[in-house]
Amino acid sequence: MKKKDLKILFVIPSLRLGSPTKFLPVGIGSILTVIKQHGFNFDVLDIDIHNYDDNYVEQFVSNNQYDIVLTGCIVTHYKWVKWLTHKIRKNYPKTCIIVGNSVAGSCPEVFLRNSAADFSVIGEGELTCLDLLCKLRDGLPTNNIQGIAFIDDKDNFVQTEKRIACNINDLPMVDWEILDVQKYLETSDYAGAEGLVVDDTNPPRVMPVSTARGCAFKCSFCHYVFWNDPYRFRKPSSVLKEIRRNIEQYGANYINFWDDLSFAGIQQAEKMVDAILGSGLKFNWNAAIRVDLFGHPRNTYKRRREVAEKFKRAGCLNVGFSLESGNQEILDMMNKKIKPEYFQEQVEIMKDVGITCSTSVVFGYPIETLETINQTFDLCYNTGVYPSIGYLLPLPYTGMYKWAIENDYIKCEDTYLDSISERQDLCLNLTKLEDKEIMYAISTGAENLNKKMGLGLKPDKLIKTGGYRKHNKKTFNNVIDPTNIKRKENDFSFNYSEALFDIDLGVEKNTKNLSSQKEKGKK
Ligand code: B12
Ligand code: SF4
């Protein structure tokens, strides 16, 4: 393609079109920052923040020709991304289409064979994307670029050597000016800011910061793009530099640590909170941890409690950690490497120091029974935490996806991936229970928990299952013509955001918290 001034378009998809809460896209934002620093010019079609519907997108890609179009998102948006690539290809056969993130990287062959994309970028995107754009601009061979996959001239699937993970401290902080950052800030007011006390003098200004990449664990239902890279975390000084910028330039007062795992150990965590305390910066924040951080007896109770207190003093308002199941056998099958007791102890410590807890549970492992479902609800009740409830959603590259294929639950991967929505929908039932039985047990358990905890959640807020009827096909062998996909067949209307953020998270109500603010705003 050798061309000095490539015409490049980045498309930012919307996972939840029309959602009142928007999240700054950290992954694409980081790629755009690196590409810009290396002198590339590009346009951005930000579907998410502008809520462009499919007609608009279709018109846009039909009326505007580009040499290269790039996009990427989570694999649950597989069908839509396929649709987009085919729309581009239909109008402009020579446009090079590059797709990253798990939609392309966790199932590269299925994706490349069914979409109209030319390249899948696998794993970390910044350097691979830069390498690819430079080679395309200079007309150099692309088949030896690390971290990509493509279908060659002989129709063979080719996956190149893996790219070694970069040093995340060397990456530039995301340049949010590339996007409509003000609009994002206006619509991300409450994005994940659990526990934030807001009043007229302190309006929420929430921004994400990525402090770590990947996770030190490999649970059998999980996949993250940095799966094959070692767990890495940024130096506190680098994280704080970005937070200072966000406070000074954007007036941020709440930072979401947008990580799979913000802290793998107590020492790492303590170093970060000490640095926050020493920085003099005043902001609130939340982080993603595991139940073993403050719940595992490998550190004394006293030490765990001391570090938790420091968290609070450093401005932490909420930590997210997943119980997943109250049944040890299921936890073992998940490869979670935790015990339900850790959860109990961690919740106790966090509540003691005044930090709220968000947790999630996954129902639907093959050995799930009515009894194990109750065990999970009982544990939530005993600890006083209302969880984000979800079903096991086997996603590509996970142990449970492999299991579902081997056990004939997924017959055609492409059709299955077209059908999936979110974990709040029962997309594939791997248990011995009937669909109705498991759904009833879960909604009853949720309702009981709601009553026992006196939360007053309305039935539609207990768990969102609206998509079930649309996605309850048991066998996925109904192949869809990829050139003629209608978005509404798989409508990704938001639900998880509501399920997560609209509820009282089992927090002591000594302050005016977000849920009540939001309710007030609605009235
Ligand atoms: C923020 C977030 C969300 C936001 C997304 C909003 C947004 N605009 O970003 C919301 C809340 C909407 C969300 C929803 C869900 N999420 Co989420 N989310 C995250 C979270 C916490 C941070 C994402 C992030 O910023 N990562 C940091 C950046 C640096 O990484 P990245 O985005 O992956 O980008 C890199 C690469 O992917 C690649 N890349 C990305 N884009 C592009 C584009 C191009 C062109 C190229 C070349 C490369 C490329 O390069 C980037 C830099 O290296 C991650 C956990 C995590 N740390 O990744 C989970 C995570 C991505 N989510 C996950 C899941 C499961 C979900 C849900 C499916 C949960 C559910 N309810 O069922 C839903 C999906 C909703 C839907 N409708 O489809 C999983 C992904 C599973 C998978 N197989 O992909 C993750 C990894 C969490 C986990 N460990 O389970 N999520
Ligand atoms: S579920 Fe959590 S702990 Fe398990 S691999 Fe995924 S991010 Fe890590």
The CATH fold of domain 189-522:
pyruvate-formate lyase- activating enzyme (3.80.30)
Q: Confirm or reject: Cβ of 515 under 6 Å from ligand 1.
A: no
Residue 351 class from Cβ within 10 Å (0-12 exposed, 13-18 middle, 19+ buried)? middle
- 392 CA distance to ligand 2 middle (Å): 14
DSSP H helices in 188-283: 236-250, 266-279
pLDDT in tens, 71-115: 999 999 999 999 999 999 999 999 999 999 999 999 999 999 999
The atom of ligand 1 lying closest to the CA of 128 is 47
Question: What is the rounded CA–CA span in Å between residue 506 and residue 465?
Answer: 22
- 389 CA distance to ligand 1 middle (Å): 19
Q: Is 416 helix (H, G, I), strand (E, B) or coil?
A: helix
Residue 461: pLDDT band with limits 50, 70, 90: confident
Element (H, E) at 515: helix 514-522
Residue 393: pLDDT band with limits 50, 70, 90: very high
Q: Confirm or reject: Cβ of 26 under 6 Å from ligand 1.
A: yes
The residue nearest atom 37 of ligand 1, judged by CA position, is: 101
Question: What is the rounded CA–CA span in Å between residue 282 and residue 260?
Answer: 24
**Two tokens, residue 203:** 């309006």
Q: Confirm or reject: Cβ of 22 under 6 Å from ligand 1.
A: no
- 215 CA distance to ligand 2 middle (Å): 6
Q: Confirm or reject: Cβ of 227 under 6 Å from ligand 1.
A: no
The residue nearest atom 2 of ligand 2, judged by CA position, is: 260
pLDDT score for 52: 97
Q: 3-159: which CATH number, 3.40.50.1860, 3.40.50.300, 3.40.50.280, 3.40.190.10?
A: 3.40.50.280
- 227 CA distance to ligand 1 middle (Å): 13
Q: Taking the CA of residue 74 as centre, how many other CA atoms within 13 Å lie in the half-sphere pointing to its CB?
A: 15
Domain with CATH 3.80.30.20 in the chain: 189-522
Q: Confirm or reject: Cβ of 81 under 6 Å from ligand 1.
A: no
Domain with CATH 3.40.50.280 in the chain: 3-159
The residue nearest atom 63 of ligand 1, judged by CA position, is: 74
**Two tokens, residue 469:** 């009827």
**Two tokens, residue 372:** 């194990």
Element (H, E) at 377: helix 370-383
Q: Answer yes or no: is pLDDT of 495 > 60.
A: no
Question: What is the rounded CA–CA span in Å between residue 264 and residue 271?
Answer: 12
**pLDDT, mean of residues 512-516:** 34
- Taking the complete model, does pTM exceed 0.85, yes or no? yes
The atom of ligand 1 lying closest to the CA of 125 is 50
